Amino acid sequence: MPVPVVPHSEVDVLIIGAGPAGLMCANALANAKVNVRVIDKRAARVAAGQADGLSPRTIEVFQSYGIAERLLKESVQVHQAAFYNPSPSGGIELTSRTQDVVAPSARYPFEVYSMKPLGVEVEWSTLPASIEICKDEHVLMDPASHPVRVVLQKLDAPEGQLQEEIVHAKYVVGADGAHSWVRKQFDITMDGEQSDFIWGVMDMVPDTDFPDVRNKCLMHSNNGSILLVPREQDRLRVYVQLENKDIIDPATGRVDKDRMGPDEMLEVARKSFSPYKISPTTGFLWWTLYIIGQRVASQFSVKNRVLIVGDACHTHSPKAGKCLKSGPSLSIALVVRGWADLSLLSTYESERRKFALDLIVFDKMYSTLFSGKPLSQENSHGVAPEHFLKIFKQFGGFTSGIGVHYEPSIATLDKNQELASGLVIGERFPPYKFIRAADAWPFEIQDLLPADFRFKLLVFTGDFSDPLQNARVESMVATMQKPDSFLNRYATSSKGAENSRFDIITISKGRKEGFNFLQFPTLLRSHWSKVFIDDIDVTNSFGGKGYSYYGVGHEGAIVAVRPDGYVGAIAPLDHVEDLDAYFTSFMTAAV
């Protein structure tokens, strides 16, 4: 009998794990038109329990993929947080309510909670059996090579059929969760520790006289803490702090799930809720137990060919919020297209590991405060409500994902920040509305910065009717059109706009009533839709202060925005060479 031949295949990127982090990566790659496969050993997506709360910055990222509208329509928005604390008369009482998201520049000033998948096709019931990276350095340095070999097994193949496939990938992304198989194959350790705080979680449709089940609610009671998160279809997710003694098996010192079920959790929760009552109307829809731990992987990538993302590289409590990012996908997209050097992938670890370390420091502090006993006569070292509220507000920028700041690397040029003080190099480009010059249609500028594979060059021309500024713009255009300018060196215009690496958007000072966008050199208006003015809208309701909000002066500036929406570089109009230097540091010439 002939031995069946194991099929081989090639792919640009193989993503292992179809949780939120893996799907987010897959979305980003699909959007950048990169060939990608997503596998998951589970038979189907789990309906609950996964970290599907999304921060304001994550909603902006969804918007940059063009799928925020659907997300917003299908999910629950949380706008307000309520704080409850022990009442002098026993039980708990409302201390205050405040905006859930304290991040003034957030375009979406709320969190969303969604249980729906994100629309990428997943190969379920598919297990990675082995993974190997080629050891030949020449192969590894060749961007066209497929140096990662992964053996896949189909768990649901019909009896007697071939169950294996060998995939040769340019890149593998390990998005396989806190117990990551990929991470273990390369002996990457997790640094950090577990806390002593044990929590239970349960989903229910509540019958209650408690008025804050549709806000995020943070409750400190003398019986332990509670966190409430409203969900779709009138559901409520209840996080309940548990006593270790109720749940640890004294013989082994480990969590014993048999000691605690949802009925017992509900009993604990009810004591904290007093004087309010709460019951599930239709039973418990889902529940689990977890120990809070803050840990970060010692490395995020192996030879820039295998990269780990999400819970596989950092774990923290669900209360620190969840900021899903596109991971290394946009760098991968640029390298796969042959536009950027392999070294660009190193920025993934340098940018993200620093952020992950900051996140777990914060989470440790915040979890300790939240799981701590409230201040009381018996416990004078307890957590004061004012202190907790202050920390909640103070770290709003951090927990919302809006305030993420990447350290300098080849993907950011640490120079000329003073030309646009509100556009922080290494931070995401903040939203603002500008008026399209040709038709006075108001646009949110973030909608002009989709997460495709292009760098956006925002040319702040200043006032073009000022002869001095006019001359500077004309001279800048002349410089950019020289054969050795980055625009020409890295141009791929012969293949049409679809393949262009740059998208030039012009933002002028001016008033819509008399403006003529045809006055600009054609480089700055490749289409009539590319010119905007910093003016108030036709209803006199918004806009008109963009230059000042972004800290751009009358002398203008050019701002390079990365495909992931982060500010990459800033240059003066009369020193475009700074952009040459920026792009030369990681871009490869057109062939």
The answer to the question of residue 211 lying near its own copies (CB under 8 A) is yes
239 is annotated as an active-site residue: yes
Closest CB 491 distance from its own copies, rounded Å: 24
Q: Measured from the CB atom, is 94 or 342 closer to its own copies? A: 94
* Strand pairing report for 224-230 and 216-221: antiparallel
The answer to the question of residue 514 lying near its own copies (CB under 8 A) is yes
Contact range with its own copies by CB under 8 A, out of 153-161, 246-254, 537-545, 559-567: 537-545
Catalytic residue among 108, 239, 406, 550: 239
Rounded to an integer, what distance in angstroms lies between the CA atom of residue 199 and that of residue 241?
Answer: 5
| Beta bridge partners of residue 92, listed in sequence order | 86
The answer to the question of residue 274 lying near its own copies (CB under 8 A) is no
Q: Measured from the CB atom, is 74 or 267 closer to its own copies? A: 74
Contact range with its own copies by CB under 8 A, out of 133-141, 150-158, 248-256, 515-523: 515-523
Catalytic residue among 318, 328, 430, 563: 318
Closest CB 275 distance from its own copies, rounded Å: 14
> What's the CA angle centered on 549, arms 543 and 550, to 5 degrees?
115
Plot region of 440 (φ>0 → left; ψ -120 to 50 → alpha; else → beta)? left
Considering only 23, 28, 78, 505, the residue that binds its own copies (CB under 8 A) is: 78
Report residue 506: phi and psi, to 5°.
-100, 130
Closest CB 443 distance from its own copies, rounded Å: 11
* Strand pairing report for 216-221 and 80-86: parallel
- Our measurement of the distance from residue 6's CA atom to the centroid of its chain's CA atoms, rounded to an integer in Å, reads 38
463 is annotated as an active-site residue: no
The answer to the question of residue 516 lying near its own copies (CB under 8 A) is yes
Rounded to an integer, what distance in angstroms lies between the CA atom of residue 85 and that of residue 44?
Answer: 41
Considering only 234, 243, 249, 267, the residue that binds its own copies (CB under 8 A) is: 234
- Distances, alpha carbon 467 to alpha carbons 57, 262, 459, 463, 471, in Å: 40, 73, 17, 9, 6
SS3 of 39, please? strand
| Residues 524, 515 contacting (CB under 8 angstroms) | no
The answer to the question of residue 528 lying near its own copies (CB under 8 A) is yes
Q: Taking the chain, what is the end-to-end CA distance rounded to the nearest angstrom?
A: 50
Considering only 134, 140, 389, 440, the residue that binds its own copies (CB under 8 A) is: 440
Total residues binding its own copies (CB under 8 A): 35
Residues between 89 and 108 that touch its own copies (CB under 8 A) = 94, 96-100
566 is annotated as an active-site residue: no
Tokens of 378: 């018996």
Tokens of 90: 């026993």
The answer to the question of residue 380 lying near its own copies (CB under 8 A) is no
Q: Measured from the CB atom, is 235 or 364 closer to its own copies? A: 235
The answer to the question of residue 439 lying near its own copies (CB under 8 A) is yes
Residues between 106 and 125 that touch its own copies (CB under 8 A) = 109-110
Of the CA atoms within 13 Å of residue 274, those in its CB half-sphere come to: 13
Contact range with its own copies by CB under 8 A, out of 57-65, 78-86, 147-155, 291-299: 78-86
- Our measurement of the distance from residue 321's CA atom to the centroid of its chain's CA atoms, rounded to an integer in Å, reads 11
Of the CA atoms within 13 Å of residue 47, those in its CB half-sphere come to: 6
The answer to the question of residue 465 lying near its own copies (CB under 8 A) is no
84 is annotated as an active-site residue: no
DSSP H or E segment with residue 489:
helix 486-489
Closest CB 199 distance from its own copies, rounded Å: 23
Catalytic residue among 57, 231, 237, 305: 231
Plot region of 321 (φ>0 → left; ψ -120 to 50 → alpha; else → beta)? left
| Residues that bind its own copies in the complex, under the rule CB under 8 A | 69, 77-80, 94, 96-100, 109-110, 209, 211, 213-215, 230, 234, 438-442, 512-514, 516-518, 528, 537-539
Active site residues: 52, 231, 239, 318
